[in-house]
Amino acid sequence: MESSSREPRGPWRWLLLAALSPLFAASAGAQALTCAAWCDLLSTNCPAEVVHDEAFCLDYCGHPFLDVVPIGSAGDTANNTLACRIHHADQAGSTSGATREAHCAAAALGGGGACGSFCDVYCDLALQVCTSTHNPLLTGTSLFSSGGAPSNSECQAACAVYPESVLAGVSQTDQVFGYGDTVQCRNHHLQAAVVEGLAQSNAYGLHCGHASPVSVSDLCSDIVEPNVINYCVYALKHCVGANALFPAGTAHADCTSFMSGVVASGDYRQDGFASFADTDTNSLGCLNNIIGLAPIDANTWCAKGDWDRANWVPAGPAVCAAPSAAVPLSDDLPWILGGMLVVAAGALLFAAPGRAERTAR
């Protein structure tokens, strides 16, 4: 199991962007400041930063009554705006290495700490999504409204103590990983609330609870354990057709019920928070970690994240295997081994001293 240490997200990449942004501002101005332009650039140039797919991005950006991404103005490279994200998504297409990584982080839904601080994004979202003042469909108590009205200063004070260092070793980018006591985790759940609330209004209250200072169900905490719910979301959505891990049409509830049985049978361990970073052992954390890459390359990662122990390495490609997993023994193996022992004994007998001389007489 991997270490529970956290991976620091230092300021170097934001300093790099600050130095380079004036050089790129002119070309970004040519991009239309629309949700379609942003989501297309993000899907094309930064697939690892897309939460689920381009449709998710469009639903998020184009919410009918929540102002989740202020438009801003062309040339913006450092504020929590659509213009800033479009600028960085555009530049990601013509850069590489650390520079591209930094541009993609800034272009993502959470802004990467470059298009506004993480707390700017958190508070802009929380005050829109999680207060009845702006969200008439919210159920439950409004966040950061102790004085009766949404308060940015109250939110910023709460956010100031949220960590920003995500668990080291997880496969997803820091802004997509929806677990752990970080501001990125809380932003992730606010984004999920925006999109899921379009179909089920109770999703607003559910995810606002996850994103609150004391995270409901402990999802944004360091005591949360990997679960089958998340595994089934990714496996059902991204592993389809030839890559399917479950029969076509499997409902999410049926998947979670089945996988709970698989875990209960002992095929997979239910370990603690640090196991989210597992990569090669039979833990539920490993399954979650590997299947999280399926949106990027389903052909590779669906097979590697297969739950079926019959496909564990070395018998198959599934990497979340028990350490003692091996190719199943053939039913004929005992007879084969017995025959080999007989042959070996005969060889030793004929090689004994004096045997060759006695045979020649």
Q: Which residues contact 225 (CB under 8 A, 6 or more apart)?
A: 270, 271, 272, 273, 275, 284, 285
Question: What value does the mean pLDDT of the chain take?
Answer: 86
Average pLDDT over residues 210-239: 96
- Please tell me whether residues 237 and 90 are part of one structural domain: no
- Please tell me whether residues 196 and 238 are part of one structural domain: no
pLDDT of 8 higher than 80: no
Q: Which residues contact 159 (CB under 8 A, 6 or more apart)?
A: 118, 119, 122, 123, 183
Residue type, 50: V
Asked whether residue 348 is domain-assigned, the answer is: no
pLDDT score of 51: 65
pLDDT score of 50: 76
- Please tell me whether residues 197 and 303 are part of one structural domain: no
Asked whether residue 236 is domain-assigned, the answer is: yes
- Structural domain harbouring 194: 7-218
Average pLDDT over residues 219-226: 97
Phi, psi of 285 (to 5 degrees): -60, -40
- Please tell me whether residues 155 and 239 are part of one structural domain: no
Residues 90 and 83 sit within 8 Å (Cβ to Cβ): no
pLDDT score of 195: 96
- Please tell me whether residues 249 and 213 are part of one structural domain: no
- Please tell me whether residues 92 and 134 are part of one structural domain: yes
pLDDT of 30 higher than 90: no
Angle, helices 183-196 vs 202-211, to 10°: value is 180
Asked whether residue 357 is domain-assigned, the answer is: no
Confidence of residue 342 (pLDDT cuts 50, 70, 90): very low
Average pLDDT over residues 45-72: 91
String of b and e for 76-110 (b: at least 16 CB within 10 Å)?
bbbbbbbbbbbbbbbbbeebeeebbbbbbbbbbbb
pLDDT of 92 higher than 80: yes
Count structural domains, the chain.
Answer: 2
Q: Tell me which H or E stretch contains 166.
A: strand 166-167
Q: Among residues 287, 311, 335, which one ends one of the domains?
A: 311
Asked whether residue 262 is domain-assigned, the answer is: yes
228 or 343: which leads in pLDDT: 228
- Please tell me whether residues 67 and 41 are part of one structural domain: yes
